[in-house]
């Protein structure tokens, strides 16, 4: 069998319109927009762009749909600039390129999202022949935000699950992420895909909505017991190798054979954080980098939190990320937050 190399990311491609505001107002009240910056985003774009900016030593492949419009052309131009193979990233005349208005509070970094699904809603991945794509890992994101992929499938449960199963059958490792959306069918839609995922990397909100656990105590602090139970529940739902639940405080990894491992996030001063948009995808990219390169789990998680920290220095999803060496150096500069059981 041939040696597979590279990462294929398929799913959401969009443009983020990031607006920094003094505060998020109550209904019928006014908040001031202090600055605005636009940049490409979405699960597939963010993971690939971050890997490119880090200097990942393997090929990058993208799959999905954009519109035949200026934002779509800008995304394709970014792919050329980052040397991302975009032959499976198509431009559709049936819908405009997806976009998100990201409202970020200046003093807290907290974000609120207003999303237009656009061309992403039409993507089905039917042109992907995984036997012809030499990638080692297929990263799919986001569950719950790709309308065609979230539809039911008689055999696999969902179209996303069918696509992931095809990738695994062809010899790729599969990775899934989800979006933090309000949807009563979250467990029903997400669960089929988890059965065909080798890796599941998502945040504490998404993990809680899939498993039914409240991962934060009253007052907002993480609940270590609920966090571990949620990770274990995701493994029981079918994730084959690794579950990682990340949060602003750090990340908990769970495996079938080696229990749980916690990695704290970096202790960043408030003035360092320009925006939190894309931090989860940056973390995911760091973990996937380690998984592709065969690093041990502690090294992969450390790369994830350091790259996520780098991303926080810029209001766009990827603008703060530089080389892997510079991201890792942030750990020495800032140190780490407390351990899980000390939070």
pLDDT tens, 258-278? 889 999 999 999 888 887 888
316, burial (CB in 10 Å: exposed 0-12, middle 13-18, buried 19+): buried
In Å, how far are 102, 266, 293, 318 from 204, measured between CA atoms? 20, 17, 26, 21
- Mean pLDDT computed over 193-216: 96
Gap between the Cα atoms of 20 and 279, Å rounded: 16
- Mean pLDDT computed over 301-330: 95
In Å, how far are 12, 128, 231, 304, 334 from 51, measured between CA atoms? 16, 22, 26, 11, 23
Provide the pLDDT confidence category of residue 343 given band limits of 50, 70 and 90: low
Query: For residue 39, is pLDDT > 60?
Result: yes
pLDDT tens column, 120-130: 999 999 999 99
SS3 (DSSP) at 18: strand
Percent of the chain with pLDDT over 90: 85
The residues, any chain, with a CB within 8 Å of residue 227's CB and separated by 6 or more, are 204, 213, 215, 245, 252, 340
The pLDDT value given to residue 257: 83
Query: For residue 196, is pLDDT > 70?
Result: yes
Gap between the Cα atoms of 152 and 155, Å rounded: 9
Query: For residue 240, is pLDDT > 50?
Result: yes
**pTM for the full predicted model:** 0.94
Gap between the Cα atoms of 204 and 166, Å rounded: 28
DSSP for 143-202, please give it.
Answer: ETS-TTTTS--TTTSSHHHHHHHHHHHTT-EEEEEE-----TTHHHHHHHHHTT-SEEEE
98 — alpha (psi -120 to 50), left (phi > 0) or beta? beta
First and final C-alpha spacing in the chain: 47
Per-residue tokens: 298: 């502690």
Q: Contact at 8 Å (CB) between 260 and 244? A: no
Query: For residue 7, is pLDDT > 70?
Result: yes
Average pLDDT, the chain: 94
pLDDT tens column, 12-34: 999 999 899 999 999 999 999 99
Provide the pLDDT confidence category of residue 1 given band limits of 50, 70 and 90: very low
- Mean pLDDT computed over 288-294: 98
SS3 (DSSP) at 293: helix
Query: For residue 233, is pLDDT > 80?
Result: yes
CA-nearest of 188, 208, 179 to 281 is: 179
Gap between the Cα atoms of 263 and 249, Å rounded: 9
Give the H/E segment covering residue 38.
strand 33-41
């Amino acid at each position: 069998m041939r040696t597979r190399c590279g990462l294929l990311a398929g799913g959401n491609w969009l443009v983020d319109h990031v607006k920094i505001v003094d505060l998020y107002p109550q209904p019928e009240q006014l908040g001031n927009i202090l600055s605005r910056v636009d940049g490409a985003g979405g699960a597939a774009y963010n993971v690939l762009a971050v890997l490119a900016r880090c200097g990942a030593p393997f090929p990058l492949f993208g799959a999905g749909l954009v519109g035949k419009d200026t934002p779509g052309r800008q995304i394709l131009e970014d792919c050329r600039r980052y040397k991302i193979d975009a032959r499976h990233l198509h431009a559709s005349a049936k819908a405009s390129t997806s976009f998100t208005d990201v409202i970020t509070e200046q003093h807290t970094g907290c974000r609120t999202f207003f999303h237009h699904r656009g061309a992403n809603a039409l993507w089905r991945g039917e042109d992907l022949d995984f036997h012809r794509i030499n990638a080692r890992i297929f990263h799919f994101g986001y569950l719950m935000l790709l309308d065609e992929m979230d539809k039911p499938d008689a055999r696999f449960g969902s179209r996303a699950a069918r696509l992931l199963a095809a990738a695994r059958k062809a010899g790729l490792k599969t990775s899934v992420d989800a979006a933090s959306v309000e949807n009563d069918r979250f467990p029903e839609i997400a669960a089929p895909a988890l059965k065909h995922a080798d890796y599941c990397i998502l945040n504490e909100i998404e993990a809680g909505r899939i498993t039914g656990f409240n991962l934060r105590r009253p007052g907002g602090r993480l609940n270590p017991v609920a966090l571990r139970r949620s990770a274990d529940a995701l493994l029981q739902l079918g994730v084959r190798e690794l579950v990682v639940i990340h949060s602003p405080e750090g990340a908990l990894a769970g495996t079938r054979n080696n229990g749980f491992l916690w990695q704290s996030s970096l202790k960043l001063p408030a003035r360092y954080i320009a925006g939190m948009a894309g931090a989860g995808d940056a973390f995911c990219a760091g973990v996937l980098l380690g998984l592709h390169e065969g690093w041990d789990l502690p090294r992969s998680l450390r790369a994830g939190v350091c790259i996520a920290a780098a991303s926080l220095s810029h209001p766009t999803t990827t603008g703060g990320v530089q080389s892997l060496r510079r991201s890792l150096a942030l750990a020495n500069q800032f140190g780490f937050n407390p351990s899980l059981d000390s939070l």
